[in-house]
Amino acid sequence: SYELTQPPSVSVSPGQTARITCSGNALPKNFAYWYQQKSGQAPVLVIYEDNKRPSGIPERFSGSRSGTMATLIISGAQVEDEADYYCYSTDRRRVFGGGTKVTVL
Amino acid sequence: EVQLAESGGGLVQPGGSLRLSCAASGPIFSSYWMHWVRQAPGKGLVWVSGIDSDGRSTNHADSVKGRFTISRDNAKNTLYMQMNSLRAEDTAVYYCVREGWFGESYGMDVWGQGTTVTVSS
């Protein structure tokens, strides 16, 4: 079965850069999406098709994909970016990564 | 702008049944694949089931196959999930999600606020 693997947690100081990785065997052939989920809220799309930002998402959010790895980058992380982040991709089945808790302190 | 509103969650005993609904407002519900994604307490997002735009093709995660059935009524702009033989491990928030076209691929673009299902005696 297809799996996407993320680190459980990432910590970053305010103003610094956070990098969240997502690895999966089907990523060389499929786009990655990233969702932000704050406590008690529904997920929100922050990156689609590897590196594109939906309207309303701050420019500090960016993404990349190379080989079996996709990466979400938060440049100049803010306290309000503290949340769980999930990668998502498809390989016949729809699959989410296990999620990464980002702490900004 | 489309909005999704889930309902039908609640407390049910193991082995029981529940039917979730998701009402869509906004244009062109009938043009999109729709999905249910769940999140157990303190855990991550897990895709559960999906249905194509006209309801002819469905698929389910192995964990719910044979117990859950996804369906839709495009005339009512509503998505459903019939959940039978419920187990404690089905306890979760269930999200209704639209799958949209982003220019080069499909991805989950609109999420409801979720409805909570608790399976417990």
Choose among A30, A45, A96: nearest Cβ to B45.
Answer: A96
Across A73-94, average pLDDT:
95
Q: State pLDDT tens for residues A30-53.
A: 999 999 999 999 999 999 999 999
For residue B119, the number of C-alpha atoms closer than 13 Å in the C-beta half-sphere is: 18
Which token pair is B105? 């691929």
Residues in B closer than 8 angstroms to A49, CB to CB, are 102-105, 107
Amino acid A92: pLDDT: 81
A4-8, B22-26, B93-97 — which is least confidently predicted?
B22-26
pLDDT at B45 over 90: yes
Cβ–Cβ contact B66 with A under 8 A:
no
Q: Tell me if chain A has a CB within 8 Å of the CB of B41.
A: no
Q: Count the residues in chain B.
A: 121
- Name the band, by pLDDT with cuts 50, 70 and 90, for residue B114: very high
Residue B57 tokens, joined: 């093709």
pLDDT attached to residue A91:
82
Residue A86 has pLDDT above 90, yes or no: yes
Please give the span between the terminal C-alpha atoms of chain A, in angstroms, as a whole number: 37
Mean pLDDT (chain B, rounded): 96
Any A CB within 8 A of B104 CB: yes
- Of B100, B94, B80, nearest in space to B27 by CA: B100
